[in-house]
C-alpha cells in the first residue's frame, strides 16, 4: 500500500506519532487510507450540502474496511462571480484545484481518493487531478438544484439573469424581478438546468468515473446520500482490483463523453474541460473530432436553457444511463470499457430504459440528427470557436450582420442595455480570453440581456472569452487564437460583416486578405491588464481556448 510510507515500519514511527495527535488508532492505520476531497463551503449553493455527502462517503469507506480522511478543495460560485472582476477568478481555479489535490494526495500518501465536487471548475479540476495522480478514484457530486416555480412555470438561474434584461427593456416590473429573485433557486445544489456544473457531472458518468445517478439525482433527495455511501464502498473495490483513472479515462472513454455531450446538449465549457482532462490522462483530444462525433450523434435532450425541462426531469426519465442506452441502439458508444462501477459500460446501461420520451427523445426521433455543440472555423476563428447549437434559435443558425465591437464585457453590456444594439447586429467582445482577460470570463450577463430584451433570435454574440452554460442563443465563444495574442478577432472593426453558418461549421468576417494583412501590420499587443498575483502568473502560462486553456509546463 502507498500509505505504508507513512504508517508502517520503524522509520515511520515519527509519522505515526502525528497520526496519534490526530486521534487515529493503530487499527485505523492498519487499513488503507482513503482521501476524501471535500469541496464543501458556505458561499456556493451547490456546495453547502457537501458536508452531508462527505459524511456519507466516510461511512461507506469505513463500512468497506478503509480509513476515510477528509481534506479540502476550493470552489468559486460562477453565479456570484458573474459580471465583475470576480469572474476572472473562476476558470483559473480549475488548475489550483488540480494542483492542490495532487500536493495533498502525494504528500500524505493516500491509497485511493473519493472526489466530492459539484460546481463548474471543481468537477473538471478534480478529474484532471485524478488523471494526473492515477491512483484508484471515484466521484460523487452534490447533485443538482430543483427547478424554481414562477407564475406556474419551472424556472432556473438563466431565467433570473434574463429577467434583469427584461426589466432593462421595460418588459418586466421590479416586483416581477423580485419574484424571480425569490423563487428561481429554491434549494441547494448545482443550478437546475444543463449548465456547466451539471454538464460535467453528467459527463463524469459518461466517462466512467461516477456511479449511476451522479449527474442527475437532486441534491435534496435522500437517494443522493445513499449514492455517496455506495461511492465510499465502491472505492475499496476499485483499490482491491487496482482499477485506476487512466484505466477508465482512455481515448475511447473521451469519445463516449463527447457523444453523450452531443446527445444531452451540454455547456460549451465542456469543450474546454474535456481536452484539459484528456491532456492529464495522456490523451490528445483534438476538437476537430467534435464535429465528426456531432455529425453522427443525435441531440436527444433540450434541457434549460435550450428547452423547458430540468435536471430533475432528466433524472426521472432515467438519467445519463438512459441517454447512453438510446445512443447504444445505434452503436454510437464504445461499451466494452471498464468504469468506476467495476463493470463495463455495456453492463452499466443494460436495462436502463427511457422512461419519458418527452425529456429524452428516442434515438430515432431526436431534436436533431446532429449533436448539441458545434465547433466553428474560418478566417475569424482559424483554430476554433464553439457554440451550443441546441440552444440557438433556428433563424440564427445562418446569420450575417455588422460587427459591434467591444474590448471588454462591461462596455458591451452598457451598449445592450442602452438600446444601442439592434436586430441583425453581431456583438464582438474581445480581449477576454484566457490570456487577455486574464481568466476567460463567462459572459452570462450580455447573453441574458440580449434574450431579456427580445433580441435572442436576431442578435449574435462572439467572444474569445466564454459563455455560461446558462447562456442561450447564437453565442459563440472560445474564439481562437484570442485577441491578446493577435488572433483575427483583434482585427475586427466596427461594421465589418460577420458571417455565421452553424450547419456548415464556419465563422468568417467578410474582409479581404489584403485588408486583414494591413490591419495586422498596424496591430500592437496590449499591456497586460493585471501584472501581479495569481492572475499574472496564470496569464503567463495559459494556452489558447482551443487546447482547453491548459497551463504550459515551461516558461
Whole-angstrom distance, CA of residue 283 vs CA of residue 281? 6
Write down the mean pLDDT value for the chain. Answer: 96
Average pLDDT over residues 302-330: 97
DSSP 252-274: HHHHHHHHHHHHHT--TTHHHHH
Task: Please confirm whether the linkage preceding 481 is cis (ω < 30° from 0).
Answer: yes
**Residues 303-331, mean pLDDT to the nearest whole number:** 97
Cα–Cα distances in angstroms (integers) from residue 396 to residues 180, 305, 429, 456, in the given order: 28, 16, 18, 9
What's the pLDDT tens digit per position in 45-102?
A: 999 999 999 999 999 999 999 999 999 999 999 999 998 999 999 999 999 999 999 9
User: Average pLDDT in the 455-473 region?
Assistant: 92
Task: Identify which of 147, 141, 145, 146 has the alpha carbon closest to the alpha carbon of residue 224.
Answer: 141
Q: 229, 192, 199, 292: which is closest to 57 by C-alpha?
A: 229
DSSP 8-state code for residue 83: T
| pLDDT for the residue 468 | 86
- 553 has a pLDDT exceeding 90: no
Whether the predicted pLDDT of 535 surpasses 60: yes
Using one digit for the tens of pLDDT, what is the confidence trace for 176-188? 999 999 999 999 9
Q: Which of 155-159, 163-167, 216-220, 388-392 has the highest mean pLDDT?
A: 216-220
pLDDT per residue as tens digits for the range 15-39: 999 999 999 999 999 999 999 999 9
pLDDT over threshold 60, residue 273 = yes
Outline where 148-221 has alpha helix (H). Answer: 157-168, 174-183, 196-207
Q: Distance of alpha carbon 51 from its chain centroid, rounded?
A: 22
The answer to whether 462 and 385 are in contact (CB under 8 A) is yes
Q: Quick one: pLDDT at residue 293? A: 97
Burial of 336 (0-12, 13-18, 19+ CB in 10 A): exposed
Statement: residue 554 has pLDDT above 80: no
> What pLDDT does 168 receive?
85
- The one-character DSSP state at 438 is T
CA dist 35 and 20 (Å) reads 18
Cell of 119: 460546481
Share of the chain above pLDDT 70, in %: 100
d(CA 244, CA 241): 9
468 is catalytic: yes
Q: What is the pLDDT of residues 199-254, one digit of tens each?
A: 999 999 999 999 999 999 999 999 999 999 999 999 999 999 999 999 999 999 99
pTM of the model: 0.96
Would the pLDDT of 472 be above 90? no
pLDDT at 83: 87
Mean pLDDT, residues 405-433 taken together = 96
Half-sphere exposure (Cβ direction) of 478: Cα atoms closer than 13 Å: 28
Give me the catalytic one of 159, 390, 468, 471: 468
Task: Name the grid cell of 444.
Answer: 452570462
What pLDDT is stored for residue 169 in this prediction?
85
Packed helices 270-280 and 93-107: angle between N→C axes, nearest 10 degrees: 30
Is residue 165 over pLDDT 90?
no
Distance separating alpha carbons of residues 328 and 393, to the nearest angstrom: 29
- Is the Cβ–Cβ distance between 283 and 207 less than 8 Å? no
460 pLDDT band, cuts 50/70/90, is: very high
In sequence order, what E strands does 438-509 have? 460-463, 475-480, 497-501, 506-509
The pLDDT confidence band at residue 270, using thresholds 50, 70 and 90, is very high
C-alpha to C-alpha distance for 412 and 447, rounded to whole angstroms: 10
Q: pLDDT tens-digit profile of 37-49?
A: 999 999 999 999 9
Q: Tens digit of pLDDT for each residue in 285-294?
A: 988 899 999 9
As a whole number of angstroms, the distance between CA 230 and CA 269 comes to 29
Predicted pLDDT of residue 402: 98
String of DSSP letters for 117-141: --STTHHHHHHHHHHHH-S-EEE--
- pLDDT tens readout for residues 111-158: 999 999 999 999 999 999 999 999 999 999 999 999 999 999 999 998
pLDDT score of 555 more than 70: no
Amino acid at each position: 500500500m502507498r500509505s505504508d510510507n507513512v504508517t508502517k515500519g520503524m522509520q515511520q514511527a515519527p509519522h505515526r506519532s502525528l497520526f496519534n495527535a490526530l486521534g487515529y488508532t493503530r487499527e485505523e492505520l492498519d487499513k488503507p487510507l482513503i482521501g476524501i476531497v471535500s469541496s464543501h463551503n458556505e458561499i456556493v449553493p451547490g456546495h453547502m450540502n457537501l458536508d452531508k455527502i462527505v459524511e456519507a462517503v466516510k461511512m461507506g469507506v469505513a463500512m468497506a474496511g478503509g480509513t476515510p480522511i477528509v481534506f479540502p478543495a476550493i470552489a468559486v460560485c460562477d453565479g456570484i462571480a458573474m459580471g465583475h472582476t470576480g469572474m476572472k477568478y473562476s476558470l483559473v481555479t480549475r488548475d489550483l484545484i488540480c494542483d492542490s489535490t495532487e500536493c495533498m494526495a502525494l504528500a500524505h500518501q493516500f491509497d485511493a481518493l473519493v472526489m466530492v465536487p459539484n460546481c463548474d471548475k471543481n468537477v473538471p479540476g478534480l478529474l484532471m487531478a485524478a488523471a494526473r495522480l492515477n491512483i484508484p478514484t471515484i466521484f460523487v457530486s452534490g447533485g443538482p438544484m430543483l427547478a424554481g416555480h414562477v407564475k406556474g412555470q419551472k424556472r432556473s438561474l438563466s431565467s433570473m439573469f434574463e429577467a434583469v434584461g427584461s426589466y432593462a427593456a421595460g418588459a418586466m416590473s421590479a416586483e416581477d424581478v423580485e419574484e424571480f429573485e425569490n423563487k428561481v433557486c429554491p434549494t441547494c445544489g448545482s443550478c437546475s438546468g444543463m449548465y456547466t456544473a451539471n454538464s460535467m457531472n453528467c459527463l463524469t458518468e459518461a466517462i466512467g468515473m461516477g456511479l449511476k445517478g451522479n449527474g442527475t439525482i437532486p441534491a435534496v433527495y435522500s437517494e443522493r446520500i445513499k449514492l455517496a455511501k455506495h461511492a465510499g464502498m465502491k472505492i475499496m473495490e476499485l483499490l482491491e482490483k487496482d482499477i485506476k483513472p487512466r484505466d477508465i479515462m482512455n481515448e475511447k472513454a473521451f469519445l463516449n463523453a463527447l457523444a453523450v455531450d452531443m446527445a444531452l446538449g451540454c455547456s460549451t465549457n465542456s469543450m474546454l474541460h474535456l481536452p484539459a482532462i484528456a491532456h492529464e490522462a495522456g490523451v490528445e483530444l483534438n476538437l476537430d473530432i467534435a464535429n465528426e462525433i456531432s455529425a453522427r450523434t443525435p441531440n436527444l435532450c433540450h434541457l434549460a436553457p435550450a428547452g423547458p425541462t430540468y435536471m430533475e426531469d432528466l433524472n426521472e426519465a432515467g438519467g445519463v444511463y438512459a441517454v447512453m442506452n438510446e445512443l447504444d441502439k445505434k452503436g454510437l458508444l464504445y461499451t466494452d470499457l471498464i468504469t468506476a462501477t467495476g463493470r463495463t459500460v455495456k453492463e452499466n446501461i443494460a436495462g436502463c430504459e427511457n422512461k419519458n420520451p418527452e425529456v429524452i427523445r428516442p434515438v430515432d426521433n431526436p431534436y436533431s440528427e446532429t449533436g448539441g455543440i458545434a465547433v466553428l472555423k474560418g478566417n475569424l476563428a482559424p483554430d476554433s470557436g464553439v457554440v451550443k447549437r441546441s440552444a440557438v434559435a433556428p433563424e440564427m443558425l445562418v446569420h450575417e450582420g455588422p460587427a459591434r465591437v467591444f474590448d471588454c464585457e462591461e462596455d458591451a453590456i452598457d451598449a445592450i442595455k442602452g438600446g444601442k444594439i439592434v436586430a441583425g447586429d453581431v456583438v464582438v467582445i474581445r480581449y477576454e480570453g484566457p490570456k487577455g482577460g486574464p481568466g476567460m470570463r463567462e459572459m452570462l450577463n450580455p447573453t441574458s440581456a440580449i434574450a431579456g430584451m427580445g433580441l435572442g433570435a436576431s442578435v449574435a454574440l462572439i467572444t474569445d472569452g466564454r459563455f455560461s452554460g446558462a447562456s442561450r442563443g447564437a453565442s459563440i465563444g472560445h474564439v481562437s487564437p484570442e485577441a491578446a495574442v493577435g488572433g483575427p478577432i483583434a482585427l475586427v472593426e466596427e461594421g465589418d460583416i460577420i458571417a455565421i453558418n452553424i450547419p456548415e461549421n464556419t465563422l468568417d468576417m467578410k474582409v479581404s486578405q489584403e485588408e486583414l494583412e494591413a490591419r495586422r501590420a498596424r496591430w500592437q499587443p496590449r499591456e497586460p491588464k493585471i501584472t501581479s498575483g495569481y492572475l499574472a502568473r496564470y496569464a503567463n502560462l495559459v494556452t489558447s481556448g482551443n487546447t482547453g486553456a491548459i497551463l504550459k509546463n515551461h516558461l
